[in-house]
Structure 1
């Protein structure tokens, strides 16, 4: 019975599946300058390969969530991982940047499954602080991606060039298919499945969109994730061109920036039990807004050295470690009967917000840290305003 799975075993299974999507981003980051040179393209086109992935990753979640509510959790996972595998092979064979952008879009369409469905499975198993605890454990497993994937990507580049990265991602997709087939149990029983049609889907989506707590929490976490996306799209060029880091040096700096997030995420559930999940969100968002505004001010003053950027982003991302897993759980708590749709709609809105943030910041990118810092600070300010608006309603949301 799925409910009898230990939390640690559940976290390991779900984390390994959910890590596939981030690996497709993080392992690829150190190679961006090399891929651009190999394909004879510029920074904007290489950032488009990230934007296409994020947009597909977001939009496809609208399909996987309702599908998972109707067919169970495993069938959509098989399809998504298979599509991810096709897109990954196409990336490895890309002869031009246009081909790569399209292949990354296909890869994102498939990778969306392993973002939506693990979150719905968590809601199948737990709610409240227990769900936050499991979400944080899943994120601990996923943390291997930003900490080790860029280093792995750098090593693979040295061994066989940038195409080798996609060969390894294809193997990861095959392993994930095996985990889904032989290890992951089905957590949605037949009696709990809902028939999805256009009318019911529209009605359920309307319930979610009209819920100010769901929408507020979704976009609070969404602006936090958007800051990550801006950083991801810019960091490889800022750290290598402005600060002169090698691909390995960039990978280490990137891992440090990510470590704060994943370390702090492990404290979200214990803090939620002590002071309430809504207060955890408020504290995290205020800290994130303050640190990102500080970095923006230093960048505008010309005082943003490598150590300053890495250190301040470490602190800002640690604050997001409290915010993102907690908002994900709180947004789904009141919508267990449509957890798949809620997870997919929330994920879509967040990923599209991230893609839009990259596109909005791209015209101002000049290879320095300032445009990146300004865009990230903007995300922090937006999250803070939304938290102030949503907080009165969050107090009435269940904390456990």
Structure 2
């Protein structure tokens, strides 16, 4: 399990690296391309939208062709998008190439989930997901610092050439280190009727849909933070790109630290109960932060510590909701993973668009949007995982 977690974690980290590494450069990109803050945030939105929509393709492809072929295709597309982004001359061009990066990076999110479902279910799957999260955790901790180091010695465009090199190394890792996990006898041909039937089954399953959007609004809160934090921390609080990177890493530690205890806690108290606890704590902390901001008391230490605690609760939610949503749909794990991932990424991208007109470079709009995400996630979590309902533990 450890070897598989390491490989899948490294592959899955490529997509988050493409998000986190260029965050310290967002103000410089805005200046270089003569764009305002909202326009630069769109380069994140287009990445998320491309990332989300492409999952609808990779999931069925993974069910039909096996797991490795879609991963190789995705990495190739990601590499092309990286070259284009490095050479972009306008913010519109950069946004377009970022969307192409997202189209490729999507494979690295949806297919590893299906690989996990090929091998494990229940608490074992949660354990593997948590191990993968541990590997992925290098992204929010190291990627912004790496981006800061790059822009300290080179132009912001060099960041995308570094991402190109990362994709090439990932292709080599995938080719020589990962075995195919879907046997030919278990592959499902790509026919429209079965796909529509499977999608209809998933969309009509309130358990799947509810859990998907619990995780989706949890992720949306993090996307809002990603899109806003570099401007808030550097402009409102005067941090350097390196200082922002350190603060960003601290905010992410809570999430990935908590994700490591999700499996043993789920085994002890039940996965569904763990999700209820997680979404409740997340909502309470994010709403508290929003109220503090409205009162004009949202200092830099308060924001960093508050988000650290909120993200710790979120770390109990994301890996467990992924596992719970897929468990009843093992026969269409690829489709379920892709459809769920698409809806989650679109939720995140739309939240960035929604906050754009209200963003003024301060923490208040960011914290209000994050608080809203917390309320919605908690409401859905308690509606879907009612304590009086028969537990659907694997």
Using the size of structure 1 for normalisation, the TM-score is 0.97
1:393 and 1:297 map into 2 onto residues whose CA distance is: 29
Counterpart in the other structure of 2:316 = 322
Deviation (angstroms), 1:392: 2.7
Counterpart in the other structure of 1:189 = 183
1:243 aligns with 2:237: yes
Counterpart in the other structure of 1:350 = 344
Q: Structure 1 residues 398, 276: closer, same or farther in 2, change over 3 A?
A: same
RMSD: 0.9
2:390 and 2:332 map into 1 onto residues whose CA distance is: 21
What secondary structure is seen at the aligned counterpart in 1 of 2:34? coil
- Segments of structure 2 that go 5 or more residues without pairing to the other structure are none
CA contact (8 A) 1:128 1:398 kept: no
Deviation (angstroms), 1:160: 1.1
1:242 and 1:377 map into 2 onto residues whose CA distance is: 20
Counterpart in the other structure of 1:73 = 67
Counterpart in the other structure of 2:146 = 152
CA contact (8 A) 1:20 1:111 kept: yes
1:359 aligns with 2:335: no
Deviation (angstroms), 1:291: 0.3
The equivalent position to 1:264 in structure 2, one of 238, 258, 262, is 258
State the Cα deviation string for residues 194-228 of structure 1 (Å, max 9, x = none). Answer: 11211110000011111111001000000000000
1:51 and 1:329 map into 2 onto residues whose CA distance is: 26
CA contact (8 A) 1:272 1:399 kept: no
2:127 and 2:392 map into 1 onto residues whose CA distance is: 15
The equivalent position to 2:294 in structure 1, one of 293, 297, 300, is 300
Counterpart in the other structure of 1:60 = 54
CA contact (8 A) 1:278 1:394 kept: no
1:396 aligns with 2:372: no
The number of residues matched between the two structures is 394
1:233 and 1:393 map into 2 onto residues whose CA distance is: 35
CA contact (8 A) 1:13 1:184 kept: yes
2:388 and 2:283 map into 1 onto residues whose CA distance is: 19
What secondary structure is seen at the aligned counterpart in 1 of 2:217? helix
CA contact (8 A) 1:289 1:380 kept: yes
1:171 aligns with 2:165: yes
- Segments of structure 1 that go 5 or more residues without pairing to the other structure are 1-6
What secondary structure is seen at the aligned counterpart in 2 of 1:396? coil
1:1-400 alignment runs, 5 A limit:
7-392=1-386, 395-400=389-394
1:394 and 1:27 map into 2 onto residues whose CA distance is: 44
What secondary structure is seen at the aligned counterpart in 2 of 1:188? coil
Deviation (angstroms), 1:397: 4.6
CA contact (8 A) 1:213 1:393 kept: no
2:295 and 2:71 map into 1 onto residues whose CA distance is: 48
CA contact (8 A) 1:238 1:367 kept: yes
State the Cα deviation string for residues 244-284 of structure 1 (Å, max 9, x = none). Answer: 00000000000000000000000000001101000000000
Deviation (angstroms), 1:180: 1.1
What secondary structure is seen at the aligned counterpart in 1 of 2:373? helix
Deviation (angstroms), 1:164: 1.1
State the Cα deviation string for residues 166-189 of structure 1 (Å, max 9, x = none). Answer: 111000000110111111110000
Deviation (angstroms), 1:399: 2.3
What secondary structure is seen at the aligned counterpart in 1 of 2:385? helix
CA contact (8 A) 1:268 1:326 kept: yes
What secondary structure is seen at the aligned counterpart in 2 of 1:110? helix
What secondary structure is seen at the aligned counterpart in 2 of 1:334? helix
CA contact (8 A) 1:263 1:321 kept: yes
CA contact (8 A) 1:89 1:170 kept: yes
